[in-house]
Chains A and B, each alone.
Chain A
């Protein structure tokens, strides 16, 4: 296949693995892949068992569904329960369990919950159903936020008054800082997300590398990309450097995508946001700017106060912070499985628990 096979070449992969194996490690090197897509790509390639045992890959808080706070999940469920509302969302969110229900369960009870592939599809549903309220559940990182901002702008231009967005967006660099500040997990390097970086640019990690002396390598998603990313990180660790390097040059520039960031900036402003398992991280979410609040679902609907009830044994928080692996959780495989998930990390296709469950013994 054009542009894919080149990045899956078994001979190149073997030589990269050999190169890593020949290295003399004086200690364990702990690298965090922040992005859920990386987690899944690593598992799907079977790379873990090929790497030297001294390289430890730790999955981070980079699955959008997983880091969404329980109270926000409950709010989306409350929205779906409101009469006349069509709730639109990206795939995985529908199965995430809230305190007592999920969008999936609400749908089977008669709620109108629809999975869309693009925010503009949600806007189209609003235009097709002028007598209904259409809410889009906006989750995701800097990658999805511009498309949601564009849909809001479009709704404003077209005068669509029955469309609103529940913004539970998250920004990644503040979460990286929060993880490092907490000193819970010792990291020797970040495998930085490819998709998010197309928007925020490689430059966004400079501050992390400088202030915390942790190497950052922006990495693509094919097996060769990831192996090369790991190799660059190991080289930095060996030579005592902490720099930002860009392995994913075919998609990511130093500046990122200023037009997309401008779009986000026009509609949203950074705001404190609650992350599952981490808590409130300053300026790590996106709130509507004053001029756009009429599209804010939390303004359009007067939501009751939410009291969250999480499964007492669920350790998604620890898994998201990288301090625990899924098999160390007491629920993993015993009562928590993709069919009956107790926490979001098991639900999402990009969740760490789901990846461990599906791809490893």
Chain B
């Protein structure tokens, strides 16, 4: 009898699993590699440098305004490749399903993965499915890997920031984290905050086409802009100076952060890229960013400096300065 729920035998390697793979995964991700049904995918590459990454997705809730765990997995993996200047090519996906997960939910998630992959121009060429007993996982976890090609002449790395570089971002900060938090905790504000989750590969491609000498690209995911810039400051041995009045923050995100006592600088993003660019290339990169739908609100938020290496400072609206430290532990809402 079909309960509409995922059963343990659908991960057992038998007929039930094959049915699940054929009817759902192979048809959704439809490509010649998967259609072969072999143990691994074999593909040709041009000569050059490859970028490779892996990531796991355990987000709760699995559906949130602006996306779900599936689209997030594709976006996150594509973005990890894009942040090294790579053109993303292929990704793989391993699914750990909790017994009793609604098949309809899984189907929606897989369909949006397929859609996200198509938009990002990548193929899902290998996969795996396991089902664990109820309570041993939380609905579903997805692990991915991704592979991409780094074009010649591109050297994008967290170690490359230099004094005099400018810090650019492609839009508002904190959207994803606040969308997920508000959904998870049932916090209702006037309008539902939408996640910014998006694949950034095409945007970063345009940016590198405009100016191949971009020093650093990094997506400020968990820990937010503050933590990511601290990482770059440490890796490159430089200081970062941010300008508070230049930070783009949506009114609803700022409002929700004020209510909860959170700092948007530490809230996660899933569709944002921080670009650290030599001053002579900044205008070209900014123009390229603004020409793409994911970069309309791009702006300059700070600069790289020689003093205070390894540290990030913020010049506040009223003209003071304060340290912007790395996120330590979880950001917790205040009490009163």
Interface residues, chain A, CB within 8 Å of chain B? 1-2, 4, 8, 10, 13-14, 17, 37, 43-50, 64-65, 90-92, 94-95, 115, 117, 139-141, 143-144, 195-196, 223, 227, 337-339, 349-350, 357-361
Complex Cα spacing A50 to B315, Å: 12
* Interface flag for B325 (CB, 8 Å): yes
Residue numbers in A under 8 Å from B187 (CB-CB): 117
Say whether A10 contacts B319, CB under 8 Å. yes
The 4 closest A-B pairs by CB, nearest first: A46-B320, A91-B332, A338-B328, A13-B318
Complex Cα spacing A141 to B332, Å: 18
Partner of B323, one of A48, A338, A349, A358: A358
Partner of A8, one of B314, B318, B323, B332: B318
Say whether B336 contacts A141, CB under 8 Å. yes
Say whether A1 contacts B255, CB under 8 Å. yes
Residue numbers in B under 8 Å from A49 (CB-CB): 320-321
Nearest opposing residue in chain B for A358, CB measure: B325
Say whether A359 contacts B333, CB under 8 Å. no
Complex Cα spacing A44 to B255, Å: 17
Partner of A50, one of B318, B323, B336: B318
Say whether B316 contacts A44, CB under 8 Å. yes
Binary per-residue interface labels of chain B (255-288) against chain A in the complex, 1 for a CB within 8 Å, 0 otherwise: 1001011010000000000000000000000000
Complex Cα spacing A45 to B315, Å: 9
Interface residues, chain B, CB within 8 Å of chain A? 185, 187, 245, 251, 254-255, 258, 260-261, 263, 314-323, 325, 328-329, 331-336
Knowing A117-B185, A141-B336, A337-B328, the reply to whether A10 touches B255 (Cβ < 8 A) is no
Residue numbers in B under 8 Å from A338 (CB-CB): 328-329
Residue numbers in B under 8 Å from A141 (CB-CB): 336
Say whether A1 contacts B319, CB under 8 Å. no
Residue numbers in A under 8 Å from B331 (CB-CB): 349
Partner of A64, one of B261, B322, B328, B336: B336
Min CB gap A164→B, angstroms:
19
Say whether A46 contacts B321, CB under 8 Å. yes
Min CB gap B196→A, angstroms:
18
Min CB gap B312→A, angstroms:
11
Nearest opposing residue in chain B for A1, CB measure: B251
Complex Cα spacing A48 to B322, Å: 10
Residue numbers in A under 8 Å from B314 (CB-CB): 46
Say whether B328 contacts A65, CB under 8 Å. no
Complex Cα spacing A284 to B331, Å: 30
Residue numbers in B under 8 Å from A8 (CB-CB): 317-318
Nearest opposing residue in chain A for B331, CB measure: A349
Nearest opposing residue in chain B for A104, CB measure: B329
Complex Cα spacing A337 to B317, Å: 28
Say whether A349 contacts B332, CB under 8 Å. yes
Residue numbers in A under 8 Å from B316 (CB-CB): 44-46, 223
Knowing A339-B328, A361-B323, the reply to whether A91 touches B318 (Cβ < 8 A) is no
Report which residue of B187, B254, B261 has the largest number of chain A beta carbons within 10 angstroms of its beta carbon: B261
Knowing A1-B255, A2-B251, A95-B329, the reply to whether A47 touches B335 (Cβ < 8 A) is no
Say whether A91 contacts B335, CB under 8 Å. yes
Say whether B254 contacts A4, CB under 8 Å. yes
Show 12 A/B contacts (Cβ-Cβ < 8 Å), sorted by A: A17-B318, A37-B261, A44-B316, A45-B317, A64-B336, A92-B335, A115-B333, A117-B185, A349-B332, A350-B334, A358-B325, A358-B328
Residue numbers in B under 8 Å from A349 (CB-CB): 261, 331-332, 334
Partner of B335, one of A10, A144, A223, A339: A144
Say whether B328 contacts A14, CB under 8 Å. no
Knowing A1-B251, A2-B251, the reply to whether A45 touches B318 (Cβ < 8 A) is yes
Say whether B323 contacts A139, CB under 8 Å. no
Nearest opposing residue in chain B for A5, CB measure: B317
Nearest opposing residue in chain A for B250, CB measure: A1
Min CB gap B198→A, angstroms:
24
Say whether A64 contacts B335, CB under 8 Å. yes
Complex Cα spacing A263 to B187, Å: 25
Residue numbers in A under 8 Å from B320 (CB-CB): 45-50
Nearest opposing residue in chain A for B187, CB measure: A117
Residue numbers in B under 8 Å from A13 (CB-CB): 317-319
Nearest opposing residue in chain A for B308, CB measure: A361
Say whether A139 contacts B335, CB under 8 Å. yes
Residue numbers in B under 8 Å from A90 (CB-CB): 333, 335
Knowing A117-B185, A349-B261, A358-B323, the reply to whether A37 touches B334 (Cβ < 8 A) is yes
Residue numbers in B under 8 Å from A223 (CB-CB): 316-318
Min CB gap A303→B, angstroms:
23
Complex Cα spacing A195 to B251, Å: 22
